[in-house]
Amino acid sequence: MKYYSTNKSVPEVSLMEAVTKGLAADKGLFMPERIDKFPAEFFENIHKLSFQEIAFEVAKKFFGEDVPEQTLKEIVYDTLNFDCPVVHVNDNIYSLELFHGPTLAFKDVGGRFMARLLGYFLKENNEEVNVLVATSGDTGSAVANGFLKVPGIRVFVLYPKGLVSEIQEKQFTTLGNNITALEIDGTFDDCQRLVKSAFMDRELNEAMVLTSANSINVARFLPQAFYYFNAYARLREQGVENDIVIAVPSGNFGNLTAGLFAKRMGLPVKRFVAANNENDIVYQYLQNGKYEPRPSIATIANAMDVGDPSNFARILDLYNHSHAAIATDMKGYRYSDAEIRQTIGEVYLNYGYTCDPHGAVGYRALEEDLQEYETGVFLETAHPAKFTATVEAVIGEGNVPLPVKLAEFMKGEKRSVKLGKDFEGFKKFLLNKVS
Domain harbouring 197, CATH code: 3.40.50.1100
**DSSP label at residue 183:** E
**Position 214 pLDDT exceeds 80:** no
Summarize pLDDT for 33-65 with one digit per residue, the tens: 999 999 999 999 999 999 999 999 999 999 999
Across the range 166-187, mean pLDDT stands at 92
pLDDT higher than 80, residue 22: yes
- Same domain as 319, residue 305: yes
- Cα diameter, the chain: 61
pLDDT classification of 278: cutoffs 50, 70, 90 = very high
What is the rounded average pLDDT of the residues 210-222?
86
164 and 81 belong to one structural domain? no
Classify residue 39: in a domain, yes or no: no
User: Does 203 have pLDDT greater than 70?
Assistant: yes
Same domain, 360 and 249: yes
Does the annotation count 270 as an active-site position?
Answer: no
- List Cβ neighbours of 29 (8 Å cut-off, separation of 6 or more): 5, 6, 23, 216, 310, 311, 313, 314, 317
Residues 241 and 92 placed together within one structural domain of the fold? yes
Distance between CA atoms of residues 391 and 377, nearest Å? 21
Of 198, 22, 32, 251, nearest to 117 by C-alpha is 22
The tens digit of pLDDT for each residue in 324-335 reads 999 999 999 999
**Residues 239-250: what's their mean pLDDT?**
95
Res 354: pLDDT:
97
- Spot the catalytic one: 61, 107, 196, 263: 107
Average pLDDT estimate for 287-308: 92
- Is 28 within the bounds of a domain? no
User: Would you say residue 259 lies in a domain?
Assistant: yes
Establish if 40 belongs to a structural domain: no
34 lies in a domain? no
Burial of 23 (0-12, 13-18, 19+ CB in 10 A): buried
User: What pLDDT band is residue 179 in, cutting at 50, 70 and 90?
Assistant: very high
CA distance 404 to 394: 23
Q: What is the torsional sign of CA 248, 250, 252, 253?
A: positive
Per-residue model confidence as pLDDT tens digits over 111-152: 899 989 988 888 766 678 899 999 877 788 888 988 898 888
Q: What is the model's pLDDT at position 200?
A: 87
Whether the per-residue pLDDT at 180 is higher than 90: the answer is: yes
Same domain for 133 and 265, yes or no, is no
Q: Say if 11 falls within a structural domain.
A: no
Q: 367 pLDDT band (50/70/90 cuts)? A: very high
Asked, for residue 20, whether it belongs to a domain, the answer is no
Q: Are residues 272 and 232 in the same domain?
A: yes
Query: Within this chain, do residues 186 and 325 fall inside the same structural domain, yes or no?
Result: no
On whether both 391 and 259 belong to a single domain, the answer is yes
Domain that holds residue 325: 63-106+221-402
pLDDT of residue 35: 97
Whole-number pLDDT of residue 124: 66
DSSP-derived letter for residue 79 is H
Q: Look at residue 16 and tell me if it is in a domain.
A: no
C-alpha to C-alpha distance for 182 and 200, rounded to whole angstroms: 20
- pLDDT score of 376: 97
Q: Are residues 247 and 133 in the same domain?
A: no
pLDDT of residue 223: 96
Q: What pLDDT digit, counting tens, does each position of 247-269 carry? A: 999 988 999 999 999 999 999 99
Phi-psi group of 96: left, alpha or beta (phi > 0 → left; psi -120 to 50 → alpha; rest → beta): beta
Best-predicted range by mean pLDDT (108-112, 194-198, 233-237, 301-305): 233-237
Query: What pLDDT sits at residue 135?
Result: 87
**Judgement on whether residues 268 and 290 belong to the same structural domain of the protein:** yes
**Residue 430's pLDDT band (cuts 50, 70, 90):** very high
Please give the helix or strand (H or E) that residue 246 lies within, else none. strand 243-249
> Is 80 exceeded by the pLDDT of residue 416?
yes
Task: Indicate whether 161 and 177 sit together in one domain.
Answer: yes
Express as a percent the part of the chain with pLDDT over 70.
99
The answer to whether residue 81 scores a pLDDT higher than 90 is yes
The reported pLDDT for the residue numbered 435 is 57
What does the pLDDT read at residue 324? 97
Task: Look at the chain and report how many structural domains it folds into.
Answer: 2
196 and 236 share a domain?
no
Mean pLDDT of the chain: 93
Predicted TM-score (pTM) of the model is: 0.89
